[in-house]
Structures are given as C-alpha cells and as structure tokens.
A and B are shown apart, each in its own frame.
Chain A
Amino acid sequence: GNSVTQMEGPVTLSEEAFLTINCTYTATGYPSLFWYVQYPGEGLQLLLKATKADDKGSNKGFEATYRKETTSFHLEKGSVQVSDSAVYFCALAGAGSYQLTFGKGTKLSVIP
C-alpha cells in the first residue's frame, strides 16, 4: 500500500533560518503529492501540491519538488518567520484514488 515517511520533530529554528523537512513516499504509479499545514487549534490547510514528476509546488515562500527518482517531496523555505510555527504534513493521493495518505507530521517552532 501507499505510505509517507517524514522527518520526526519537533524542529526548532531561529527566525530567518533555512528550513528543510524531509518527506519520502512509497506508492505505485504516479501519485499526487501535497504539503498541508496545521496551526494550533485549527484544521489542515493546503500549503502546496505537485501532480507529476519534476513539478515544483510553491506558496508563501515554501517550495517542494516532486522527485520521482528518489521518491521524495522535501519542503524548503529560505527564511522562516515566527508565524510559520505549525505542524506540517506531507501527503499523497494515489493515481485515481480519493484517499489521502498522510505522514505523521513535523512540528516546527520558530523562535525570535
């Protein structure tokens, strides 16, 4: 079956530091890949997505590139802010499937 593995947290960074959260996946065919963000007390929000190999998703300064050869979709941001403190989830949807498979989430804390 499909699975998503993302780096365990928590991750604590100083403001303006570089962020990488690793995500690798196992799936047959060509899944769609997503990053969702969850702020405290809220539901998940879509951060970015990529639907085919070599696509780069980007939003709010965050980027992730769909790497078929390494089955990865790492999340990066060049300069984090305190407001980026949240839990980040990597997820995939198998081709033609309605089901999202989530990683366990990575909690990011950014300190001033």
Chain B
Amino acid sequence: NAGVTQTPKFQVLKTGQSMTLQCAQDMNHNSMYWYRQDPGMGLRLIYYSASEGTTDKGEVPNGYNVSRLNKREFSLRLESAAPSQTSVYFCASSSGTGGGGGNQPQHFGDGTRLSIL
C-alpha cells in the first residue's frame, strides 16, 4: 500500500541551487497538492492540480513551479533556492472531481525535509 510517495526524504541545498521534489500516487486520484509546513504555521498550500493537465496557485506560490506530469505524478521545482524555503514539504492527493474536490479527504506523503544554507 504505497499511497503517496515523495522523493527525496531529506535534502540540503545551497542558496541559489535548484531542485525538483517528486511526488507520485497510486490511488488513481484526480487532484494533487503541494504544501509546506513551518513551525507554528500549520500547513500552507503552495500549488494544486485539480485534474491532469491543470495547475493553480495556492496561498504561497512565489519561488516555486509545478508540473502535473501525468495523473500519477506531480512535481515541485525550486528554481533558485532561498533560506526562507527551508521547510518540510508535503504532497497530497484526493479523489475530488469537478467542483466538489474539497470535501474529499486528502492523503499525504511522509514529507521531504529541505534545508537551504
């Protein structure tokens, strides 16, 4: 039961470097999401993809780009990493379709712990 798989689990970058966080789900879900979790801030939505072929900005999209590669995979890219992007990043998916996506539970990966020096 893989569910949502994120790679890598840990990463250390230097300021200005780029990297891509990978996420794949095996539940045939339509919607996928990227969040960041910072101490005392809860989770904040970076980008989401309501269905294959679409992506939309969330609450904190600046400094990030996403690609919905196919129905299974949704990647998050940092083009020029900054220390403020040090965080734990979570990918999630849900079965939501149409306009009712929000009331379907989201399934989360175990996170990528990213440090930027």
Point out the residues of chain B lying under 8 angstroms from A104, CB to CB. 40-42
Point out the residues of chain B lying under 8 angstroms from A31, CB to CB. 102
A-B CB contacts (within 8 Å), total count: 64
Taking the closest CB of chain B, its distance from the CB of A3, in whole angstroms, is: 11
Point out the residues of chain B lying under 8 angstroms from A32, CB to CB. 102-103
Point out the residues of chain A lying under 8 angstroms from B61, CB to CB. none
Interface residues of A toward B: which range? 20 to 34
For the residues of B in contact with A, the DSSP-based class is mixed
Report yes or no: A96 in contact with B99, Cβ–Cβ below 8 A.
yes
Point out the residues of chain B lying under 8 angstroms from A102, CB to CB. 42-44
Taking the closest CB of chain B, its distance from the CB of A79, in whole angstroms, is: 25
Q: For residues 41 through 75 of chain A, which have their beta carbon under 8 Å from a beta carbon of chain B? A: 41-46, 49, 51
With A43-B4, A98-B96 as known contacts, state yes or no: A89 contacts B50, CB within 8 Å. no
Please, how many angstroms separate the alpha-carbon atoms of A46 and B107 in the complex?
7
Please, how many angstroms separate the alpha-carbon atoms of A96 and B58 in the complex?
15
Taking the complex as formed, is A110 at the interface, i.e. its CB lies under 8 A from any CB of chain B? no
Contact partner, B108, options A44, A93, A96, Cβ 8 Å: A44
Q: For residues 78 through 99 of chain A, which have their beta carbon under 8 Å from a beta carbon of chain B? A: 89, 93-99
With A98-B48, A98-B96, A104-B42 as known contacts, state yes or no: A43 contacts B105, CB within 8 Å. no
Contact partner, A45, options B42, B102, B108, Cβ 8 Å: B108
Q: Give 5 pairs: A residue, B residue, CB < 8 Å, sorted on A.
A: A32-B102, A42-B111, A46-B107, A89-B43, A98-B56
Interface set of A (CB-CB < 8 Å, partner B): 4, 31-32, 34, 41-46, 49, 51, 89, 93-100, 102-105
